[in-house]
Structure 1
Amino acid sequence: MVVSSRRNVIMGPKKKVTRKRKPEEDNKGSEVEEEIEGEEPKEKERKGKDKKRGKNKYIGAHVSISGGIWKAVGDCLAIGGRSFALFLGSQRSWQRPPLNTAAAEKFQKACVENGFNPVHILPHGSYLMNCGSPKQDVFEKSQALLVDELGRCSALGLSLFNLHPGASLGSITTEQCQEKIAQAINQAHQQTPAIVTVLENMCGQGSTVGGQFGELRGIIDRVRDQSRVGVCLDTCHAFAAGYDLSVKGGVKSVLDEFDQVVGLSYLRALHLNDSKGKLGCHLDRHEDIGHGQIGIPAFRDIVNEPRLDNIPMILETPGRPGFEDKEQIELLYSLCKH
């Protein structure tokens, strides 16, 4: 998975015009929006409403914790995000130093001061974890790391934790892998209070579990406290797994199927990624919004879908010069009709 974080004034004798540029929906240019001092009351009222577009959508990106975990909040604000994802420690080691208490307090303070609700912050699990591993040593280390991750969430005042479910490595059945994943989650829930474990759908590559909605449901069914389990729907992964978001009505159709198989009550977050690969390719290749196979119309439908209100929508796109996280967030909000 690839993640990144990265007016003219015209004076006249009677009025001042301020021009603010923002990306167009077709990604090929930008449109100009004018605000004119002394304009008619109805025009002011209309533009006031325009500024509130997407008020129920919490779009953001995966941000860095470099220099201190509390700095993630400022990084999110700098790109215009209303939600964010972050790692809670090193991705290169099973063993991590304990979370610094002062750093955790600074993080919580920054969130409160800047109006971030814990339900709009989505920590991402270490890629080292494979809670479905048939290898006992890897399974035990993954269990321990999951407990550590949930403990860090508690210390930071967070309520959600996102992870890739796991992989069978081809030596156990999908059902056995689901059982092991649920076992790890159940153990972690016993040792840490309140945090909701959010399973990310996968692209169906190799022996990974969670590419099909039914596989996610199979894990959920094995979790004892189902009030503490949810799903993060990654658009690239879903498309690569064969769920066609790109066709007209595709977003509605996929959500309807998710609701029938898993239940929309379990949907806690989205990862907003276009796909380099074609439908059903089973390749985890993220692309910038509108530059991949899914396309702008699907993302317009996503940001205008009422069933996706009030959950974090996190970009994990590679970014390119002039179209990094900030510009992509602006684009997505510009697609909102309300």
Structure 2
Amino acid sequence: MASCKKGEKRRKVRNVKKLEEFEDSAERKGRTREQKKYIGAHVSIVGGIWKAVEASVEMGGHSFGLFLGSQRSWQRPALDQKAAVKFQQACAQHGFDPRHILPHGSYLMNCGSPKEDVFSKSQAMLVDELSRCSLLGLTQFNFHPGASLDSSKEQCIERIAESINNAHQQIPAVCTVLENMSGQGSTVGGDFNELKSIIDRVRDKTRVGVCLDTCHAFAAGYDISSEGGVKSVLDEFDQVVGLHYLRAVHLNDSKGKLGCHLDRHEDIGRGKIGISAFRNIVNEPRFDNIPLILETPGRPGFEYAEQIQLLYSLCED
């Protein structure tokens, strides 16, 4: 046991040294506007939804995620038309393509809930979220699929697909993007096969996709940290779901170990996934031209701006 602990300490020291080298490289290397990778972060809408654009620009982002309203209430004020116009103007001014902006759904939603009141409110909120996307000129919307609670996974999957089909009928054009989950509790989407089962039941396949969260995938047992792990997991995703459904990535390291099923994000290179995996991610051509969005906790001296700079420094082309 003592020798194992010593070995673990040596690995941690090597990882820290490796991370420090990459951080130094990031400071020296800088960034250009030419890239295939659209890296950014989840930003705040405090002060007005257009402020999200300014926040992304300030941190050096080329993509961003955002909430479209309060996360604490089912009842939210309507999105102001003038605010929506200011948002679109800010996006145009700073060159943000709607394809590189990924709104995130409310955590209150459970579109597969067996509880009728929650299911009904979740369906209504999904419609409202897509409506807000349309008003803002955005083309896709990401959300956590849902949790089965005391029902079966199959019943939950049926209800999630029903919610998506219902929203598609009411709101045109916007693509609903399912997020893979860590497999914690009764959540659906930790297994790629569960995502495929939902997609199979969605009528309009052109309006459904997947956002691959690196922390969630790792926690669910998909080993992206190993040598060749990123390519292997992407190959499996392609075989099970289909690469054409991949719309975005959430870039998060993991506080928990492989297969822990815990949804606990960590800063890039500071968790169990490790910096080498993120180097492989930003150099994986199958992640070209889609939003790669940080949702890490951040810490003094290593906030989103520093992590974005670090990730761009790892790009080899």
- The answer, yes or no, to whether TM exceeds 0.5 is yes
Q: Kindly provide the amino acid, as one letter, of the partner of residue 238 in structure 1.
A: A
Residue 98 of structure 1 aligns with which residue? 78
Residue 300 of structure 1 aligns with which residue? 279
**Residue 54 (structure 1) shift:** 6.8
Q: Distance in 2 between matches of 1:133 and 1:217?
A: 19
Unaligned runs of 5+ in 2: 1-16
Residue 5 of structure 1 aligns with which residue? none
Q: What do residues 73-100 of structure 1 show as CA deviations (whole Å, max 9, x unaligned)?
A: 0000000000000000000110111100
Residue 102 of structure 2 aligns with which residue? 122
Q: Distance in 1 between matches of 2:31 and 2:129?
A: 37
**Residue 27 (structure 1) shift:** 3.0
Q: Is the 8 A contact 2:31 2:313 kept in 1?
A: no
Q: Distance in 2 between matches of 1:248 and 1:150?
A: 39
> Aligned pair 1:80/2:74, yes or no?
no
Q: Which of the two has higher C-alpha Rg?
A: 1
> Aligned pair 1:71/2:55, yes or no?
no
Q: Is the 8 A contact 2:175 2:209 kept in 1?
A: yes
Unaligned runs of 5+ in 1: 1-23, 35-46
Residue 249 of structure 1 aligns with which residue? 228
**Residue 188 (structure 1) shift:** 0.3
Give the helix-richer structure, 1 or 2. Answer: 2
> Aligned pair 1:260/2:260, yes or no?
no
Q: Is the 8 A contact 1:274 1:288 kept in 2?
A: yes
Percent of pairs identical after alignment? 74
**Residue 175 (structure 1) shift:** 1.1
Matches within 5 A, 1:127-276: 127-169=107-149, 171-276=150-255
Q: Kindly provide the amino acid, as one letter, of the partner of residue 50 in structure 2.
A: W
**Residue 118 (structure 1) shift:** 0.3
Q: Kindly provide the amino acid, as one letter, of the partner of residue 220 in structure 1.
A: I
Q: Kindly provide the amino acid, as one letter, of the partner of residue 44 in structure 2.
A: S
1:112–1:32: structure 2 CA closer, same or farther, 3 Å change rule? closer
> Aligned pair 1:321/2:300, yes or no?
yes
TM-score, structure 2 as length reference: 0.92
The equivalent position to 1:289 in structure 2, one of 264, 268, 278, is: 268
Give the strand-richer structure, 1 or 2. Answer: 1
Q: What do residues 260-293 of structure 1 show as CA deviations (whole Å, max 9, x unaligned)?
A: 0000000000000000000000000000000000
1:285–1:32: structure 2 CA closer, same or farther, 3 Å change rule? closer
Q: Kindly provide the amino acid, as one letter, of the partner of residue 84 in structure 2.
A: A
CA RMSD of superposed structures (Å) = 1.6
Tell me, what secondary structure is at the counterpart of 2:225? Answer: coil
Tell me, what secondary structure is at the counterpart of 1:149? Answer: helix
The equivalent position to 1:89 in structure 2, one of 43, 60, 69, is: 69
Runs of 4+ in 1 over 6 A off after TM superposition: none
Q: What do residues 298-328 of structure 1 show as CA deviations (whole Å, max 9, x unaligned)?
A: 0000000001100000000001110010000
**Residue 33 (structure 1) shift:** 7.3
Q: Distance in 2 between matches of 1:53 and 1:173?
A: 48
TM-score, structure 1 as length reference: 0.86
